[in-house]
Amino acid sequence: MTEDSLLFMPVSSIMLGIKSGSSRVKILLIEDKDSLRQMLSTAIKKAGYQVDEAADGNIAAEKIRKQPYQLILTDLRLPTLSGLDILKIQKEIDATIPVMLMTAYGTIEEAVEAMKQGAFDFVPKPVDISHLLLLIERSLQQRRLLLENMLLKEEFQRMYGIPKIIGDSPAMQTVSHSIQLVAPTDATVLLTGESGTGKEVFSRAIHQLSTRRDKPFVTVNCAAIPHTLIENELFGHEKGSYTGAFARKIGKFELADQGTIFLDEIGELHMSVQAKVLRVIEEQCFERIGGLETIRVNTRVVAATNRNLQELVSKREFREDLFFRLSVIPIQIPPLRERISDVRLLAQFFVDKFSRELHRQGLQLSPEAARALEEYSWPGNVRELQNTIERSIILCDGKMIRPEDLNFAFEQRKQSEDFIHLLDLTGSLTDVSSRASRAAEKVKIKQALDLSNWNKTQAAEMLAVSYKTLLNKIKEYELE
């Protein structure tokens, strides 16, 4: 049997790989024998994939540098650059792309070396097409799993599972009904409400109730990323696009392809990036930084903010067209003080949760503590309640959580005392007002930091300021 011979076996519809998304997969086939390359190309195309061809290593390297592929299938021995050279070049550009090598002369040593350098597999000639197509599908599946691991999908599922929305108040019933109606669609959703109301939980519920539930759910906190880096985070970049760009980076919109992207604190998104986000929502395409190829995706957008976007539009700090495009389905999440009847249900949920996690099974919420929870105003909403219950379980020395274990009433008195102590009433009214304003600001920032257990990102969200502004204020008031 000659080197160009191919073993063609009956291929089932499953082996052909004609499944959702296969037509979007582009494979680079590198083989210097024209007849063999054409036969392989025809077979792979029949399986539903796109194929680009190269007859030698230099041409292949140029193609790889100019555009992205989802898989590289290359002969080991080529004119000019070898298959191992191609493997090295691809790994430098994007290490997640699988590379398979073919050879009729390969030895065990060569196969081992190729695998050590990161090859997905080693394909002997003559090529068994059924086996090759199976390896192609396995390699693509491995890359999908790798990208999911990059998103920490398994960790999110372990921590959250299917989001549990707790509450039977009329306000929560309205929200739950809206989510159930909109989730099965692909409509863009804008979640609004104060910090700590659980907007991310609601966004996860929308994803889990949609037909995209088995696809990625990607979260981007627009307030936590400097505006000079947010475009790179959302859209990625090509190798060499700027100093330090040593390899291609896949952006969050591309990682969320076929799934959902959650743009948290969208009101903090810099104006320079808003037009590009609008284009992705409307046209489902974008270019990486430094790239020429248009990347097409099918990504659903759910956004959230604790700011008044209409007010930002009037101040020319937010694009009006993006606001209208985001708010196709606006859903207002009510603050906890407007659904006090849900406080006990939420508190019991957190008691059960943290009792298991902290190995304090058997703890109960006393009736007095439950009443105290309902009488509190919850400026930090559900997040503050969660932190309060977790802290009380840690501090509780018996089997019953008492009002004094909750600690929020003491914090309020202490903050009032600190505020009065900080005030200096000497001087003019303007001087006193200025000092009072700074004192109040310091107390408010300290309160947010304490409520968030010094998670600065969460504290910035609670205060409705940018992460950078919070860092500057912490330094200004020497709170660190």
Domain C-terminal end among 97, 123, 145: 145
**Is residue 182 domain-resident?**
yes
Q: How far is CA 66 from CA 45, 69, 81, 242, in A?
A: 22, 10, 17, 16
Contact 424, 435 (CB under 8 A): yes
121/213 same-domain check: no
In whole angstroms, what is the distance from residue 124 CA to residue 105 CA? 8
107/175 same-domain check: no
201/326 same-domain check: yes
Q: Which residues pair with 121 in a beta bridge?
A: 100
101/140 same-domain check: yes
137/161 same-domain check: no
Q: Tell me which residue has tokens 């680009």.
A: 52
Q: 167 is written with which tokens?
A: 């509450």
Q: Is residue 401 exposed (0-12), middle (13-18) or buried (19+ Cβ within 10 Å)?
A: buried
We report the CATH number of the domain holding residue 263 as: 3.40.50.300
**Is residue 151 domain-resident?**
no
27/134 same-domain check: yes
328/193 same-domain check: yes
Determine the residue type at 390: E
**Is residue 390 domain-resident?**
no
- How crowded is residue 384: how many other Cβ atoms within 10 Å of its Cβ? 23
What pLDDT, on a 0 to 100 scale, did the predictor assign at position 16?
34
Domain C-terminal end among 298, 316, 334: 334
Contact 447, 414 (CB under 8 A): no
Q: What DSSP line would sit under 457-479, residue for residue?
A: HHHHHHHTS-HHHHHHHHHHTT-
Q: What DSSP line would sit under 127-178, residue for residue?
A: EEHHHHHHHHHHHHHHHHHHHHHHTTHHHHHHHHSS------SHHHHHHHHH
43/188 same-domain check: no
Q: Name the residue range of residue 445's domain.
A: 407-480
Q: How far is CA 236 from CA 260, 274, 445, in A?
A: 17, 16, 34
**Is residue 400 domain-resident?**
no
We report the CATH number of the domain holding residue 462 as: 1.10.10.60
Domain count, the chain: 3
In whole angstroms, what is the distance from residue 239 CA to residue 90 CA? 11
Q: Tell me which residue has tokens 């037009």.
A: 275
**Is residue 454 domain-resident?**
yes
Domain C-terminal end among 334, 352, 376: 334
Q: What is the pLDDT of residues 13-62, one digit of tens each?
A: 333 333 434 557 889 999 988 888 999 999 999 888 999 999 988 999 99
Beta strands at 329-332 and 189-192: parallel, antiparallel or unpaired: parallel
We report the CATH number of the domain holding residue 66 as: 3.40.50.2300
- How crowded is residue 126: how many other Cβ atoms within 10 Å of its Cβ? 16
**Is residue 214 domain-resident?**
yes
**Is residue 396 domain-resident?**
no
196/287 same-domain check: yes
In whole angstroms, what is the distance from residue 341 CA to residue 172 CA? 10
Determine the residue type at 157: Q
41/189 same-domain check: no
233/173 same-domain check: yes
Long-range contacts of 78-82 (CB under 8 A, 24+ apart): 78/30, 78/32, 79/32, 79/55, 80/56, 81/56, 81/57, 82/57
The 3-state secondary structure of 399-464, one letter per residue: CEECHHHHCHHHHHHHHHHHHHHHCCCCCCHHHHHHHHHHHHHHHHHHHHHHHCCCCHHHHHHHHC
Q: Rounded to 5 degrees, what are φ and ψ at 74?
A: -135, 145
**Is residue 371 domain-resident?**
no
165/278 same-domain check: yes
Closest CA to 364 of 334, 398, 408, 415: 398
Whether the model clears a pTM of 0.75, i.e. scores above it, the answer is: no
In whole angstroms, what is the distance from residue 163 CA to residue 170 CA? 20
Q: What is the CA radius of gyration of the chain?
A: 28
The 3-state secondary structure of 92-108, one letter per residue: HHCCCCCEEEEECCCCH
Q: Digits of tens for pLDDT over the chain (480 positions)?
A: 333 333 333 333 333 333 434 557 889 999 988 888 999 999 999 888 999 999 988 999 999 888 888 899 998 888 888 888 898 888 888 778 889 888 776 555 676 677 778 888 888 888 888 888 988 988 888 877 776 655 544 444 444 444 567 777 888 888 988 998 999 999 999 999 998 888 998 999 999 899 998 899 999 999 888 888 999 999 999 888 888 788 888 899 999 999 999 999 999 999 989 999 999 999 999 999 998 889 999 999 999 999 999 999 999 999 999 999 999 999 999 999 888 888 998 999 899 888 888 888 888 899 899 888 988 888 888 988 998 999 899 888 888 998 888 876 435 544 544 555 556 666 777 777 777 788 888 888 887 887 777 888 888 888 888 888 898 888 888 887
The residues near 58 (Cβ < 8 Å, ≥ 6 apart) are: 80, 81
